[in-house]
Amino acid sequence: MKLMIASDIHGSALYCREMLEAYKREGAERLLLLGDILYHGPRNDLPEGYAPKEVIAMLNPMKRELLCVRGNCDTEVDQMVLEFPILADYCYLELNGVTVFATHGHVYDPHHLPPLKDGDILLNGHTHIPACEEILDMNGGTYRYLNPGSVSIPKENSAHSYMIFEDRTFTWKNLDGEEYMTWKTDSRS
């Protein structure tokens, strides 16, 4: 399965459109959104192209292709206008024998871990900073922390970005489709 992973649209129709163009170009089978879909939140400036109603109109027709978890800016009122579920705090995915705990990152993150087994992946957005780090937990196990960065409000000079999972490999790309980082799930570095 080819999966596209993105986070933190924050109501930007401009970057949502670019993300969906990338999704079509990639030929992914599903799009996993890691939260903060419509609202920019009180800590962020309005993203370029802020138009949540346009984002709604772009995403609702894709409801059968979307998987989502709730971000800290996503609420019940957002769910009222979106035709696909967005209020799950997390989900577990099994990708080629690797367990992925997908969440936004405001509850569970590398400093407040969910229950993970050695070799599992913690996948979240929220920080708006791409990441691929091996982390040692308090019990001596290791897990991988992955973050696709942000579609609309990247931080720390990172790109407007997303990730692709295919053939046991996670690939980070900017919205133009240029690859800038990869990690293969059976590698230990």
Asked whether residue 171 is assigned to any structural domain, the reply reads yes
Asked whether residue 88 is assigned to any structural domain, the reply reads yes
Residue 49: per-residue pLDDT: 97
Question: Which two tokens mark 172?
Answer: 């980070």
Q: Give the integer Cα–Cα distance in Å for 52 and 111.
A: 31
Asked whether residue 189 is assigned to any structural domain, the reply reads no
pLDDT tens, the chain, 189 aa long: 999 999 999 999 999 999 999 999 999 999 999 999 999 888 888 999 999 999 999 999 999 999 999 999 999 999 999 999 999 999 999 998 999 999 999 999 999 989 899 999 999 999 999 999 998 877 788 999 999 999 999 999 999 999 999 999 999 999 999 999 999 998 554
Q: Give the integer Cα–Cα distance in Å for 105 and 2.
A: 23
* CA angle in degrees (0–180, nearest 5) for 44-160-100: 95
Asked whether residue 86 is assigned to any structural domain, the reply reads yes
Asked whether residue 76 is assigned to any structural domain, the reply reads yes
Asked whether residue 172 is assigned to any structural domain, the reply reads yes
CATH for 59 = 3.60.21.10
Residue 13: per-residue pLDDT: 98
Asked whether residue 59 is assigned to any structural domain, the reply reads yes
Q: How many residues are recorded in the chain?
A: 189
Q: Give the integer Cα–Cα distance in Å for 189 and 28.
A: 26
Structural domain including 118 reads: 3-184
Residue 189: per-residue pLDDT: 45
| Per-residue pLDDT tens over the stretch 107-149 | 999 999 898 999 999 999 999 999 999 988 777 889 999 999 9
Question: Which two tokens mark 24?
Answer: 């079509």
Q: How many domains does the chain have?
A: 1
- What is the DSSP track for 64-99? GGEEE---TT--HHHHHH-SS----SEEEEEETTEE
